[in-house]
Amino acid sequence: MTTQYELFIEAPVHAERKSLPGHIRQLIKRTIEELGQEPRPYNSRRLEATDFRIPEYLEIRRIRIDKWRLIYAINEGEGWVWIWVFANGHLMITKIWMNLLHYSNTTLS
pLDDT top residue among 35 and 85? 35
CA angle at 100 for the pair 94 and 89, rounded to the nearest 5°: 35
Q: Convert the pLDDT of each residue in 36-46 to its tens digit.
A: 999 999 999 99
Q: Convert the pLDDT of each residue in 46-68 to its tens digit.
A: 987 666 677 788 888 999 888 88
Q: Structural domains in the chain? A: 6-105 (3.30.2310.20)
Question: Quick one: pLDDT band at residue 89, thresholds 50, 70, 90?
Answer: low
pTM: 0.78
